């Protein structure tokens, strides 16, 4: 099984520890993981702004970089969703079709491919789980509070395998944090207000660490937390799953 | 383009009020959740409703004609209006024919869309909205801010003050019971004096030629029972093939709208009362154009339950008026660009694409997907602000060239690491208004990887 690691651009540049945790976690589970040089981005920032035409070269670059692997694993539900859902505007070559099936969010790869049932991880803290929207409602990593379905939530399942984690009960289980890519820049006031409200929910629940499957949500929440001088930390779920403390 | 953001920023300035608005709507969403989760077959119902609507939209011409034939058979007069102006003219014509000058009207987003009240008032005809929320905003001379709860943006203190001024209630009174009673007494007079009653239509049944009107206050019934002339105005998309399909939708509608098992009144109108007259006005006003757009046609499945507004985290925090359109919120943001792309080019961007609207929607409209598609069209049509477009072209270049990407990433990290705060947190940096930028690490993941795993 040839596995490639895809580290989205903003994680590469600003949160290398998330890439490292993802890599180490996969390696500790016995996977040989390659990190193809020259990878950049899935193209989502342009496409969500309406410029998917301008994203095509980036899509093509992604396909070129990753098409020789059996699986592409990424610590981002949002990027995985983008490749799977929106790479429909380029020619559907066998390579593109393959990547649109085999680009997986880390949690999907752990649960559906590796069929992980336990982890050797310890993280003693009260953790608030932020359900990033694209993972939740795009990749269907959980049922979502809107739908009347009895399905497990992938991130809950994984977190409950970590020794010491106490998952906090939130008043609003899966409300959006307000990041939304360029939305955060175009509608800064609503975006920040949404983030503040999410944080208040976590704070009321006594959360010490907010985690999520997407670092972009956490970057936004962390920006507000630091501005507020809050002691609440953010950690990508890969960091918690890879914790040995 | 930036209009929603500007209006939203103004709304949000009063944070306590924003919180109140958000909580009020979240409460409705929570009631909806309870009701929806109380029905084990909820997801099947949504699927069924979606399929019935898809089928009906694909055979709309046939069902509309069947409906018309049946209605005529029942003795109803049917009118067709191509647009808002035709609709208003037709309604006015019917009223003139019956010499009707005092009109009561129950809730109808269609007549709101067509601007019927203003039109009729200009002709010297008095229209009284009889839905309590509608009456409140009519007295306040404001547009509705929500399609199911038109006055949800107003606090009871504000309604008290308004009623004190317009209906002479006690100054400072805020007791909802007292205020509602005052509105009832005031409306009763209008009901008794009305020459005609106008209603909206929730569903029109092709098989029977009847229309179905759902309300909680019984105001539509009071109007149509008392006035000799009744006029029902409907968009072409309100058709259902058979009476047996109705139950699927009434079960979904009230639960999605307010969390009730059904609306208090679900009234079926088939023919005029003895000595009365019944008219139905069927309106297109841009709907067939929308039907012709494959990516957007299924927005016509909408049953106007308002659930997508109640769940939308942006709507809840920006208020309905920030959308500046008759139908606000997520569904409004996919309907209005089809009517005036330029005017409403900002609305598809008033979203994080979180997808909650699509999952809450009882007829499974892929609202957030359509927002995404409108964005593409808006950019293609050159309606993005230049700076935004240019930065996306640039990003597209950088992100498809590994060498450029590496250099750009390095300089971005350098900038956030070494530039003094005042140079970073400028008014141009909207990110930094309420948020810190991420702390830039020494090295990127790629750099770390090269050092630590280069052998592999
Ligand atoms: S789009 Fe769906 S959720 Fe929104 S008002 Fe229409 S039917 Fe209700």
CATH of the domain at B375: 1.10.1060.10
Asked whether residue B410 falls in the same domain as residue B439, the answer is yes
CATH of the domain at B242: 3.40.50.10420
pLDDT of res. A10: 87
Closest ligand 1 atom to the C-alpha of B304?
5
To the nearest whole angstrom, how far is the Cα of A143 from the nearest Cα of chain B? 10
A 10 A CB-CB count for B399 gives 26
Six-digit token pair at A205?
């629940």
Q: Of B285, B302, B319, which closes a domain?
A: B285
Parent domain of B172: 39-285
The answer, yes or no, to whether any atom of ligand 1 lies below 6 A from the CB of B331, is yes
Asked whether residue B202 falls in the same domain as residue B53, the answer is yes
Asked whether residue B127 falls in the same domain as residue B243, the answer is yes
Of B257, B282, B280, give the one whose Cα is nearest residue B150. Answer: B257
For residue B3, being part of any structural domain is answered with no
Weakest mean pLDDT among B4-18, B284-298, B436-450: B436-450
Residue B413 binned pLDDT confidence (cut-offs 50, 70, 90): confident
Cβ neighbours for B89, distance < 8 A, ≥ 6 positions apart: B81
- Domain tally for chain A? 2
pLDDT score of B300 more than 80: yes
Distance of CA B354 from the midpoint of ligand 1 (Å)? 16
pLDDT of res. B84: 97
Distance of CA B168 to the CA centre of its chain: 33
For residue B5, being part of any structural domain is answered with no
Asked whether residue A8 falls in the same domain as residue A61, the answer is yes
Chain A stretch 51-110, residues whose beta carbon is closer than 8 A to a beta carbon of chain B: 51-58, 60-61, 86
- B399, B401, B414, B444: best to mutate for the A interface, most A CBs within 10 A: B399
Neighbouring C-alpha atoms within 13 Å toward the C-beta of B298: 20
Is the Cβ of A2 closer than 8 Å to some Cβ of chain B?
no
Parent domain of A229: 122-241
Asked whether residue B74 falls in the same domain as residue B205, the answer is yes
Asked whether residue A129 falls in the same domain as residue A109, the answer is no
Asked whether residue B68 falls in the same domain as residue B208, the answer is yes
B8 in Cβ contact with B317 (< 8 Å): yes
Of B368, B318, B366, B363, give the one whose Cα is nearest residue B348. Answer: B368
Strand partners, B283: B81, B235
The answer, yes or no, to whether any atom of ligand 1 lies below 6 A from the CB of B362, is yes
Closest ligand 1 atom to the C-alpha of B331?
1
pLDDT score of B258 more than 90: yes
Helix, coil or strand: residue A164: strand
pLDDT of res. B455: 58
| Interstrand relation of B196-199 and B126-129 (parallel, antiparallel or unpaired) | unpaired
- C-alpha to C-alpha distance for B258 and B261, rounded to whole angstroms: 9
Asked whether residue A170 falls in the same domain as residue A220, the answer is yes
pLDDT tens-digit series, residues B230-242 = 999 999 999 999 9
Asked whether residue B248 falls in the same domain as residue B322, the answer is no
Question: With an 8 Å Cβ cutoff, are A182 and B356 in contact?
Answer: no
- A45, A51, A197: best to mutate for the B interface, most B CBs within 10 A: A51
Asked whether residue A54 falls in the same domain as residue A109, the answer is yes
Question: With an 8 Å Cβ cutoff, are B440 and A147 in contact?
Answer: no
The answer, yes or no, to whether any atom of ligand 1 lies below 6 A from the CB of B303, is yes
Asked whether residue B192 falls in the same domain as residue B56, the answer is yes
Give B453's contacts in chain A (Cβ within 8 Å).
Answer: 23, 35
Residue A177 binned pLDDT confidence (cut-offs 50, 70, 90): very high
Question: With an 8 Å Cβ cutoff, are B440 and A176 in contact?
Answer: no
| Interstrand relation of B210-215 and B265-269 (parallel, antiparallel or unpaired) | antiparallel
Q: Of A79, A113, A147, which closes a domain?
A: A113
Closest-CA residue, ligand 1 atom 2, reads B361
- Domain tally for chain B? 3
Closest-CA residue, ligand 1 atom 3, reads B361
Asked whether residue A22 falls in the same domain as residue A55, the answer is yes
- C-alpha to C-alpha distance for B345 and B56, rounded to whole angstroms: 29
Asked whether residue A126 falls in the same domain as residue A217, the answer is yes
pLDDT of res. B418: 72
Segment B134-158 mean pLDDT: 96
Q: Of A113, A141, A159, which closes a domain?
A: A113
Region of residue A8 (phi > 0: left; psi between -120 and 50: alpha; otherwise: beta): beta
Q: Which residue has the higher pLDDT, B3 or B210?
A: B210
Asked whether residue A153 falls in the same domain as residue A187, the answer is yes
pLDDT score of B456 more than 80: no
Residue B434 binned pLDDT confidence (cut-offs 50, 70, 90): confident
pLDDT score of B365 more than 80: yes
Of B149, B92, B99, give the one whose Cα is nearest residue B116. Answer: B92
Asked whether residue B144 falls in the same domain as residue B274, the answer is yes
Asked whether residue B222 falls in the same domain as residue B326, the answer is no
Burial class (CB in 10 A: 0-12, 13-18, 19+), A97: exposed
Q: Of A62, A78, A113, which closes a domain?
A: A113
pLDDT score of B159 more than 90: yes
Percent of chain B with pLDDT over 70: 99
Asked whether residue B183 falls in the same domain as residue B316, the answer is no
Which chain B residue has the Cα nearest residue A226?
B436
Closest-CA residue, ligand 1 atom 6, reads B302
pLDDT of res. B25: 98
Segment B60-74 mean pLDDT: 98
B288 in Cβ contact with B83 (< 8 Å): no
Closest ligand 1 atom to the C-alpha of B330?
4
The answer, yes or no, to whether any atom of ligand 1 lies below 6 A from the CB of B196, is no
pLDDT tens-digit series, residues A55-97 = 999 999 999 999 999 999 999 999 999 999 999 999 999 999 9
Six-digit token pair at B314?
């942006």
Residue B396 binned pLDDT confidence (cut-offs 50, 70, 90): confident
Give B409's contacts in chain A (Cβ within 8 Å).
Answer: 9, 12-13
Question: With an 8 Å Cβ cutoff, are B402 and A40 in contact?
Answer: yes
For residue B21, being part of any structural domain is answered with no
Question: Ligand 1: which of B45, B52, B362, B369 to mutate, judged by most atoms within 8 Å of the beta carbon?
Answer: B362
CATH of the domain at A219: 3.40.50
Asked whether residue B267 falls in the same domain as residue B325, the answer is no
Closest ligand 1 atom to the C-alpha of B257?
8
State the complex-level ipTM: 0.96
Cβ neighbours for B211, distance < 8 A, ≥ 6 positions apart: B201, B203, B204, B205, B232, B234, B238, B268, B269, B280
Asked whether residue B421 falls in the same domain as residue B334, the answer is no
For residue B50, being part of any structural domain is answered with yes
Distance of CA B212 to the CA centre of its chain: 20
For residue B33, being part of any structural domain is answered with no
For residue B29, being part of any structural domain is answered with no
To the nearest whole angstrom, how far is the Cα of B42 from the nearest Cα of chain A? 6
pLDDT score of A219 more than 90: yes
Of B279, B277, B355, B352, give the one whose Cα is nearest residue B318. Answer: B352
Distance of CA B8 from the midpoint of ligand 1 (Å)? 22
Question: Ligand 1: which of B52, B54, B113, B256 to mutate, judged by most atoms within 8 Å of the beta carbon?
Answer: B256
The answer, yes or no, to whether any atom of ligand 1 lies below 6 A from the CB of B302, is yes
pLDDT score of B75 more than 80: yes
Q: Which residue has the higher pLDDT, B399 or B295?
A: B295
Question: With an 8 Å Cβ cutoff, are A13 and B314 in contact?
Answer: no
The answer, yes or no, to whether any atom of ligand 1 lies below 6 A from the CB of B304, is yes
């Amino acid at each position: 099984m040839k596995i490639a690691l895809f580290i989205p651009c903003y994680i590469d540049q600003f949160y290398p520890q998330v890439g490292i945790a993802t890599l180490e976690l996969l390696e500790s589970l016995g996977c040989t993981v390659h990190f193809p040089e020259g990878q950049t981005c899935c193209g989502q920032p342009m496409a969500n702004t309406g410029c998917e035409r301008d994203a095509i070269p980036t899509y093509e670059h992604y396909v070129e970089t990753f098409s020789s692997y059996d699986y592409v694993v990424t610590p981002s539900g949002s990027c995985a969703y983008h490749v799977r859902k929106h790479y429909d505007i380029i020619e559907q070559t066998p390579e593109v079709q393959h990547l649109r099936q085999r680009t997986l969010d880390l949690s999907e790869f752990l649960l559906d491919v590796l069929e992980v049932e336990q982890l050797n991880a310890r993280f003693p803290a009260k953790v608030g789980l932020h359900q990033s929207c694209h993972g939740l409602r795009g990749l269907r990593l959980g049922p979502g509070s809107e739908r009347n379905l009895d399905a497990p939530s992938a991130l809950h399942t994984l977190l409950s395998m970590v020794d010491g984690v106490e998952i906090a009960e939130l008043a609003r289980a899966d409300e959006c944090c307000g990041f939304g890519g360029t939305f955060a820049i175009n509608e800064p006031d609503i975006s920040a207000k949404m983030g503040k409200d999410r944080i208040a929910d976590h704070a009321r629940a006594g959360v010490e660490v907010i985690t999520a499957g997407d670092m972009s949500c956490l970057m936004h929440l962390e920006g507000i937390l630091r501005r507020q001088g809050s002691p609440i930390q953010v950690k990508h779920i890969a960091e918690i799953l890879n914790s040995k403390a | 383009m930036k209009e929603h953001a500007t209006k939203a920023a103004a709304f949000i300035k009063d944070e306590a009020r924003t919180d109140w608005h958000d909580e009020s709507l979240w409460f409705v969403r929570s009631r909806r959740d309870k009701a929806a989760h109380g029905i084990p077959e909820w997801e099947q119902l949504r699927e069924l409703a979606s399929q019935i609507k898809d089928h009906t939209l694909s055979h709309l011409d046939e069902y509309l004609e069947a409906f018309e034939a049946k209605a005529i058979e029942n003795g109803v007069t049917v009118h067709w209006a191509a647009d808002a102006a035709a609709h208003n003219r037709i309604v006015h014509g019917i009223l003139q024919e019956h010499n009707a000058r005092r009109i009561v009207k129950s809730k109808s987003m269609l007549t709101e869309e067509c601007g019927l009240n203003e039109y009729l008032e200009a002709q010297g005809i008095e229209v009284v909205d009889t839905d309590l929320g509608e009456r409140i905003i009519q007295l306040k001379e404001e547009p509705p801010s929500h399609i199911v709860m038109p006055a949800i943006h107003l606090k009871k203190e504000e309604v008290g003050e308004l009623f004190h001024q317009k209906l002479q209630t006690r100054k400072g009174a805020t007791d909802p019971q007292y205020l509602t009673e005052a509105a009832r007494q005031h409306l009763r007079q209008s009901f008794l004096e009305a020459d005609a009653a106008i209603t909206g239509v929730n569903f029109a049944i092709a098989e029977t030629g009847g229309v179905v009107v759902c309300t909680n206050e019984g105001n539509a019934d009071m109007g149509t029972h008392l006035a000799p002339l009744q006029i029902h105005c409907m968009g072409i998309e309100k058709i259902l093939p058979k009476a047996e399909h109705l139950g699927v939708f009434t079960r979904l509608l009230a639960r999605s709208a307010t969390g009730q098992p059904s609306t208090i009144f679900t009234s079926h109108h088939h023919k005029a009362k003895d000595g009365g007259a019944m008219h139905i006005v069927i309106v297109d006003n841009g709907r067939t154009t929308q039907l012709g757009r494959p990516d957007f046609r299924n927005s016509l499945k909408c049953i106007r339950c308002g659930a997508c507004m109640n769940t939308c985290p942006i709507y809840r925090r920006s208020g309905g008026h920030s959308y500046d359109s008759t139908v606000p919120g997520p569904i409004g943001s996919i309907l209005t660009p089809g009517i005036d792309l330029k005017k409403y080019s900002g609305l598809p961007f008033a979203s994080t694409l979180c997808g909650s609207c699509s999952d809450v929607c009882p007829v499974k409209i892929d609202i957030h997907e359509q927002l995404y598609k409108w964005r593409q069209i808006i950019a293609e049509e050159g309606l993005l602000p230049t700076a935004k477009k240019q930065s996306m072209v640039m990003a597209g270049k950088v992100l498809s060239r590994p060498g450029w990407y590496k250099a750009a990433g390095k300089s971005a990290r350098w900038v956030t690491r070494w530039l003094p705060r005042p140079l970073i947190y400028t008014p141009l940096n909207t990110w930094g208004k309420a948020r810190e930028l991420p702390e830039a690490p020494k090295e990127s993941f790629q750099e770390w990887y090269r050092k630590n795993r280069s052998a592999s």
